[in-house]
Chain A
Amino acid sequence: MDVKVLQKNLLELIRRTSCELPLDVVRLLEKGHEKERKGSTAKYALEVILDNIKLANQLSQPLCQDTGTIICYAELPKWLDEATFKRTYEKAVVQATKVGYLRQNSVDSLTGKNSGNNLGPGSPVFHLSTTKAKTLQVRMILKGGGCENVGIQYSLPDATIGAGRDLAGVRRCLLDAVQQAQGKGCGPGILGVCIGGDRSGGYVASKEEFFRPLDDVNPDKRLAGLENKIMKEANSLKIGPMGFGGRTTLLGVKITHRNRLPASFIVSVSYMCWAFRRNGFRLSESGKVSRWLYDS
């Protein structure tokens, strides 16, 4: 594997993720735009959003100036070791920052100093595993701060929202999360949810749900039912795009589950804004991308 070629491909992955929105998201935004009332602030907001998506694509510039936490998932085949991959990915990040695909977004939590190149303790975030497959798979999410700030965890039972330890309780958590996120998370949004697990694993799993195609159906019938119900109910709250009021509050709800301790029942909710930036590729050892994971 030529690391220069890998770096070039990773830079292109970052560019696509930051500048081009996957089609499954765009289609739902267009549908939302059709549904909103003529002359409403909600329709206006979606108009600007759709214009922005086109413009970012044409100019090859970030959809949103908050290019977010860089979350990288990679499955490494035999021909690529972890250290080499990380080093190469970091180089691509530095390069992407220099040319403006990424904002300088990594700040020392104690001194407030911006590292200027998106590197530092914990940035970017890596989730690496090994694979027996011949190709390297890299997926990434750029998750802005506005939507990250409205992520929330519940420990059930939760008397303040009347949520017990069952799916009816989970429903209450999710509707509460949507209500609280209004205006802050750049709606229409997408919920990634994990029922169970510990606190850290729950959040990780909730974010991985964002890789599911938005129009898929959860293979677990119970969860598919809950996803549908939340979509309908959340969209009836009239929060609307950007919290302006309107019909399009959520574009998707994706739920998974993990086993839990008898003593714990954690529900982890990650919220993603309409600038739902995720993409990925599969790469052969010769450096050829065999597949982009999302059309944009």
Chain B
Amino acid sequence: MLLEAPFTEEKMRRLHVGDKVEITGLLYTGRDAVHKYLYEGGKSPVDLTDSIIYHCGPVVVKQGKKWVVKAAGPTTSIREEPYQGELMKRYRIRGVIGKGGMGPRTLAACSEVGGVYLHAIGGAAQVLAQRVIEVPAVHLLEKFGSPEAIWEFKVERFPVVVTMDSHGNSLHQQVLDTSETALRKLL
């Protein structure tokens, strides 16, 4: 199904674990340095209301005056677990794209603000980079370096799967439970 900006609470609450979604609109990248910075009170250079944050440290090169994305897959999200829930609540961030899923604090924030966790396929840097049609701006590039900066990505039909929804469901918790039971049987 298609998910188009603006990313309102109403749209996000309609999504459920297992939904394959294609996003069209603006994404902000943000990973370790950005999350720690915002959490500790740093000022956000962009308006994060009704936004989607993408855990991604892309390869971007400048060709003439334009930024061109060479590779842009997701990074492991669980490292942002200490910060993500609080930031979702503070800024009304409605979507988090990454890989590997997140923990109970983020899941609770999804329920509270009406947000979802959207899983991009890890390592699929080319398939995903192709869906970035423009890079309107970059922020905090000097401060954090290219992989850790906030890049604005205009995307078209960016493919993800909902693995945590605003109804308390997490595919990651389900798989963890099943595999733990299977492992106990083996041992």
* Chain A, Cβ-Cβ closest to B124: A52
* Cβ-defined contact, A182 with B176, below 8 A: yes
Cβ of A52: which chain B residues have Cβ within 8 Å of it? 121, 123-127
Residues of B within 8 A of A104 (CB): 145-147
Determine if B127 and A51 form an interchain contact, defined as CB atoms under 8 angstroms apart: yes
Interface string of A103-114 (1 = CB under 8 A from B): 111010000111
* Residues on A with beta carbons closer than 8 Å to the beta carbon of B99: 146, 183, 186, 242
Compute how far the CA of A143 lies from the CA of B183 in the bound complex, rounded to whole angstroms: 28
Please give, as numbers and ranges, the residues of chain A lying within 8 Å of B33 by CB-CB distance.
Answer: 112
Q: Evaluate whether A64 and B71 lie within 8 angstroms (CB atoms) in the complex, with A51-B127, A55-B130 already known.
A: yes
Q: Is A182 a contact of B59 with CB atoms below 8 Å?
A: no
Q: How far is the CA of A170 from the CA of B101 in the complex (A)?
A: 29
Please give, as numbers and ranges, the residues of chain B lying within 8 Å of A102 by CB-CB distance.
59
Q: Which residues of A contact B144 (CB under 8 A)?
A: 112
Cβ-defined contact, B100 with A61, below 8 A: no
Q: How far is the CA of A186 from the CA of B74 in the complex (A)?
A: 10
Which residues does chain B contribute within 8 Å of A63, judged by CB atoms? 71, 123, 125-126
B171 CB to nearest A CB, Å: 7
Interface size band for B: 35 or more
B interface footprint on A216-242 (CB within 8 Å = 1, 0 otherwise)? 000000000000000001001111101
Which chain A residue shows the least CB distance to B68? Answer: A100
Contact of A184 among B20, B100, B180 (CB under 8 A): B100
Interface centre among B20, B148, B171, B183 (most CB of A within 10 A): B183
Q: Is A41 a contact of B18 with CB atoms below 8 Å?
A: yes
User: Could you say which residues of chain A place their CB within 8 Å of the CB of B178?
Assistant: 238, 245
B73 at the interface (CB under 8 A from A): yes
Q: Contact check: which of B71, B124, B146, B171 meets A114 at CB < 8 Å?
A: B146
Q: Report B-chain residues with C-beta under 8 Å of the C-beta of A146.
A: 75-76, 99-100, 122
Contacts of A186 in B (CB 8 A): 99, 122-123
Query: SS class of chain B's interface: helix, strand, loop or mixed?
Result: mixed
Is B66's CB within 8 Å of the partner chain A?
no
Is B108 positioned at the interface, with any CB of A under 8 Å from its CB?
Answer: no
Q: How far is the CA of A61 from the CA of B124 in the complex (A)?
A: 11
B residues within 8 A CB of A44?
20, 161
Closest to A274 in B: B123
Q: Whole-angstrom distance from the CB of A58 to the nearest CB of chain B?
A: 9
Mark contacts of A45-88 with chain B using CB atoms, 8 A cut-off: 1 yes-contact digit, 0 otherwise: 10011011001100101111111000000000000000000000
Find the A residue at minimum CB distance from B102.
Answer: A183
A164 at interface, CB cutoff 8 A: no
Q: Which 7 A-B pairs have the closest CB atoms?
A: A114-B145, A65-B71, A186-B122, A183-B100, A55-B126, A100-B70, A52-B124
* Given A52-B124, A176-B183, A242-B119; 8 other pairs, CB 8 A cutoff: A49-B124, A61-B129, A65-B73, A67-B59, A103-B71, A238-B175, A242-B121, A244-B119
- Which residues does A use to contact B, with CB under 8 Å? 41, 44-45, 48-49, 51-52, 55-56, 59, 61-67, 99-100, 102-105, 107, 112-114, 116, 144-146, 149, 162, 172, 175-176, 179, 182-184, 186, 233, 236-240, 242-245, 273-275
